[in-house]
Structure 1
Amino acid sequence: MAQKRHLNNNISLVQLRPEDAEEMFPGLSDAKAYQFIPDIPPDTPETLRERYQMLASGGPPDAHEIWLNWVIRYGSNKVAAGYTQATITGKDALIGYHVFPAFWRKGIGSEAVTQTLENIFDRKDVTTARAFVDTRNTGSISLLEKLGFFRANTLENADFFKGQQSNEYEYILKKEIYLRHRHQKTL
């Protein structure tokens, strides 16, 4: 198989393991990263490890979903900079990503999501990637649009968290559009 060309060779995705909880805990404890998502920082490394044991299982036993989870590794020492994930159901992959605030504005999110898309679109059965983003999260909106996603829907009152109503955009990227976009960038 040909070597994939990445924009930033200092970034790699490594399959998430329960043992990663200790290293991921400090980055996931930064409250700044939770402004636009209903999640809260994990309580302890032990509770995070338990969550990672479940996520590393690959999905529920009925096999209607496949869970893919990666740690974003950055720099020559490959420190944890966040994570990406994809939940595959049929031909759709719902993606998510979380870059630790200490690593914002370095192109890490864009490259990590690009590698996530490569992983899911390498699967013959996946034809569509989806992402949901809070309408106030301009950083994530820019990232998705830069990668070729288009805004397909606005979900009013999608969630209520941290004392506020949240609206969300649904973004979609078709495999053929992604492949064409990727091909144009390599020319």
Structure 2
Amino acid sequence: MIFPELVTERLYLVEVNKEHAQGIFNNFSNPAVLQYYGMDPMTELKQAEKLVEHFRNSFLSSHSIRWAILRKEDNRFTGTIGLNNLSKGMKRAEIGFEIHPDYWRTGMTSEALKAVLDYSFTELGLHRMGAVTFLDNVASIGLLEKHGFVQEGILRSYLFQNGQSHDARVFSVLKNESTNLEDAL
């Protein structure tokens, strides 16, 4: 099974592999990155290495696709983006992403999101893309809305983090609602 690499103006989206484990650890051990992620911070590199394996196994079993986001200018790892709960038969998936704070508000996540949506709707033939966010994750909500996602409702006690349950917003965008977002970037 060949991993689908994507290229944008400033980014390479490639398969997450062992060489990205340190970057993943840097992101997933950072409380600022995980504030709205739905998991507790990693404490050892081994956890990041296991997550890399999980991403690979989930891809091989066709349950998900997770890309490492690399800057073209220096091949620097900035974060990941991917499709979760991928169901090609039902023509749907959920998008998820995380990026290091050094790259927040640079447009990189928006650029990566557009590429993944384009790939999902054209190459994979998906019809629906979902997303789940914490209620007050203003940055992700704004990014999703910029790319045509609409809120469908609230999922009660859907996320569990830091020893407690949290409500979540659920969003979606459909293939026929997806527009040309060149101006949005």
Q: Same fold (TM over 0.5)?
A: yes
**Corresponding letter in the other structure for 2:92:** D
- Cα RMSD of the aligned pairs, angstroms, is 2.4
- Report deviation, 1:103: 1.1
The change in CA–CA distance for 1:32 and 1:177 in structure 2 (over 3 A counts) is same
The alignment-based identity, stated in percent, is 22
Q: Alignment partner for residue 71 of structure 1, among 61, 68, 71?
A: 68
Alignment of 1:51-62 (within 5 A): 51-59=51-59, 61=61
Corresponding residue number in structure 1 for 2:43: 43
- 1:42-92 CA deviation, whole Å, 9 max, x = no partner? 23222211221121124475xxx5310101112510211110010311311
- Report deviation, 1:110: 1.1
Corresponding residue number in structure 2 for 1:129: 129
The alignment covers a number of residue pairs equal to 176
Q: Answer with 40-49 or 141-150: which moved more.
A: 40-49
Larger radius of gyration: 1
The change in CA–CA distance for 1:82 and 1:127 in structure 2 (over 3 A counts) is same
CA contact (8 A) 1:73 1:80 kept: yes
Q: Which runs of 4+ in 1 moved over 6 A?
A: none
Corresponding residue number in structure 2 for 1:169: 169
- Report deviation, 1:167: 1.7
Q: With structure 2 as the length reference, what TM-score do the two structures score? A: 0.83
The change in CA–CA distance for 1:77 and 1:124 in structure 2 (over 3 A counts) is closer
CA contact (8 A) 2:11 2:71 kept: yes
Stretches of structure 2 that go unaligned for 5 or more consecutive residues are 1-5
Corresponding residue number in structure 1 for 2:112: 112
Work out the CA distance in 1 between the residues paired with 2:44 and 2:71. 23
Corresponding residue number in structure 2 for 1:155: 155
